[in-house]
Structure 1
């Protein structure tokens, strides 16, 4: 253990004995977080398992059964609105895509999870916050970074950073402890209302992988298309209406996931770097993100000066870099957010798309304060007349006088 009070291995849990009275652990109900509850059950401190719903739903009965099995208190927090307002909306305004390839997700969710965990730990008087990210997951530096930046005074970290066990080993231990619900799967995932992402197992090797159709939810092949056109209204950088109806952003996202997803829109595959520079493959689906990011980009090109947009593009990648590197609450991302928020004040209007299999085709841009032309021929005539008249007037001006200064 170092002076940052970091937990990095299962052996560190022994160190906490006698130093902590109440541990808060992030809990999803999956193998990793359940195995940590199993290990914590043999320790002397009180354990609270915190499950945070970010929009993909939680099975409350499963969570309760697992937590109760290991003597932990369960707390479930609805973090959807905090996630949308504090992370997803800024991401839309920042055009937040990793290397321009796919919408970022866990970079947005982990700071919100960390903030809610710190708030809960403060209310309960916990002196440690634990999670279960490992060294092959970028969540490790994002959660650790957020907890440090939020200045939580107790112990933090993941015992899986230095203690590595296979999924099969964890399942076997849980079964031996009387918990038989887990089965070995060749893939792992992370989901929220913005993006569903999958990795590991059959997706380990980017040179030869197949993403099974069964992993998809919003873009599953058996979805029935309801609408083939969507209209998104944005007011000062915030999506406020869908198809002409005033709608909260959280509902816009949920509806677009179903509408655009039914056309198979929003599937991505791509590499992401780990902290040491190694690259791992991830597959994700994000129908609403695909359409909303496109709508916002089209509308800001209609309302912002071209030079401002060019500068914003570089600021966007700075914003994304700070988010993915686990510096969400740092000064640099905060400063970049200030620039982006200022530009968002001028982005108002409506963007429409026609949906077809795998694509959303732009069909209309209507800005409140547009910089675009609606009648190019008439504009040509007006400009020619104005500039021509000015030029003639300039030719008739008398020669400027020259004033010579004398000492």
Structure 2
């Protein structure tokens, strides 16, 4: 093989697919494999991944807790932008990929690897997100994407490969009893897609959901919380200051108990096809509502409207894998500049899947009760509105085609 690979850093979950990839890389490329497993708050014990890598004879194993960095440097900047892909999706999978790619490249540099590898398929978005990150951070890196190279294109062939190479297969996978969908989880969300969910008419099984109770089964009493913001980022819940990851964990807990954060979506993948996904983003759903409420009394009207105009582009950049692009970074600087005055407290009621804002206050508020009151005031001359209206109506009075009105 030309340009042989000596050492590759594999994004490794410890599951069947990446275990097969680990063995396949050794077989196909005759190279040393370094494994990297990121703890992004997926809620799984990661030490089994270490044990499995050791079982394969891997000498360099990286298992790293990146939860605080994930929330502080990726989730919170995204939420400052109020980002929703296609109006509703809070980008839980998308926002995790740039951090994984970044750390993979750092490890590759550290151990002298000449390639990186991932387990994303050739049909999805993640292959794009990972590889755009790799190339942005290390332009000359070699990327190995097994799903685009090998001929193991069926579940049966994967299981046969695992049996042939004595790769442990869990009882559910061996017996065909694994869940009828695939999942991806981190501290921001859990996604479910594929298999039983591929029919967009099919209703998700209630037993599928892991972080939220059904809204119908949520408590009959309202839960009231207050979230404090500093420069657009949440820093405290009910007056208690917390680290970013701790705060998001707490919001996940209270939101999940109140049935908040479920989404059933047919989205447009970057590669061109439509895909049905079901998501749980409990804490993020509260946070998105609270942040907009905080901005409502602290942002200038046109600055806020400009953010709203730019948000779909920003969200699309993250969804498509352009976190490290110059345009996303330029937009981030603009967004962050608007957040300097987004300070204060938002009060919310949580009830059976709903998040309702019931109050907001800020030392930087530009809301003026003196101007908006229906009572007598001394700061606003209502006669001024007449000239304002006539000036704005001038082009209509001069150029409107009245014959077009039937």
TM-score tier (shorter) = 0.7 to 0.9
| Cα distance, 1:389 vs structure 2 | 11
2:161 to 164, 173, 185: 173
Q: 2:16 aligns with which of 25, 31, 45?
A: 31
Residues in 2 aligned to 1:39 and 1:225: alpha-carbon distance in whole angstroms: 53
Equivalents in 2 of 1:227, 1:118: separation in Å?
46
Write out per-residue CA displacement over residues 321-369 of structure 1, whole angstroms, 9 at most, x where no aligned residue. Answer: 1111111111110111011001111101111111111111211111222
For residues 93-116 of structure 1, give each alpha carbon's deviation from its aligned partner in whole angstroms, at most 9, with x where no partner exists.
011111111211222110000001
Is the counterpart of residue 311 in structure 1 residue 297 in structure 2?
A: no
1:61 CA drift (Å): 3.7
- 8 Å CA contact retained: 1:225, 1:262: no
Secondary structure of residue in 2 paired with 1:382:
coil
Query: Is the aligned partner of 1:129 residue 2:116?
Result: yes
Contact 1:41/1:70, CA 8 A, preserved across alignment: no
Please, which of 54, 57, 60 is the counterpart of residue 71 of structure 1? 57
Unaligned runs of 5+ in 2: 386-406
The equivalent residue for 1:160 is 147
Alignment pair present for 1:113 and 2:108: no
Q: Is the 8 A contact 2:371 2:380 kept in 1?
A: no
Structural mapping, 1:281-292, within 5 Å: 281-292=276-287
Closer, same or farther: CA 244–173 of 1 in aligned 2, 3 Å: same
Could you say which residue in structure 2 is the equivalent of 1:191? Answer: 185
Name the SS for the 2:63 alignment partner.
strand
Q: Distance in 1 between matches of 2:286 and 2:182?
A: 26
State which of 75, 87, 108 in structure 2 corresponds to 1:88: 75
Decide which moves more: 281-290 or 311-320: 311-320
Query: Cα 1:390–1:301, aligned 2, differ >3 Å: closer, same or farther?
Result: closer
Aligned pair 1:41/2:30, yes or no? no
SS in 2 for 1:193: coil
Give the match's secondary structure for 2:5: coil
Q: 1:53 to 1:388 in 2, by over 3 A?
A: closer
Residue in structure 1 matched with residue 360 of structure 2 by the alignment: 365
| Residue matched to 2:321 | 326
Q: 2:84, 2:91 within 8 Å by CA — same for their partners in 1?
A: yes
* Residue 145 of structure 1: how far off its partner (Å): 0.6
| CA positional deviation for 1:79 | 1.4
Question: What is the distance in 2 between the residues matched to 1:386 and 1:282?
Answer: 51
Deviations 1:54-101 (A, max 9, x none): 011343342123213322232101111221122101111011111111
TM-score by length of 1: 0.86
Size of the alignment, in residue pairs?
374
Per-residue deviation, 1:23: 1.1
2:15 and 2:32 map into 1 onto residues whose CA distance is 21
CA drift at 1:148: 0.7
Secondary structure, counterpart of 1:363 in structure 2: strand
State the Cα distance separating 1:193 from its structure 2 match: 0.2
| Counterpart for residue 219 of structure 1 | 212
Larger Rg: 1
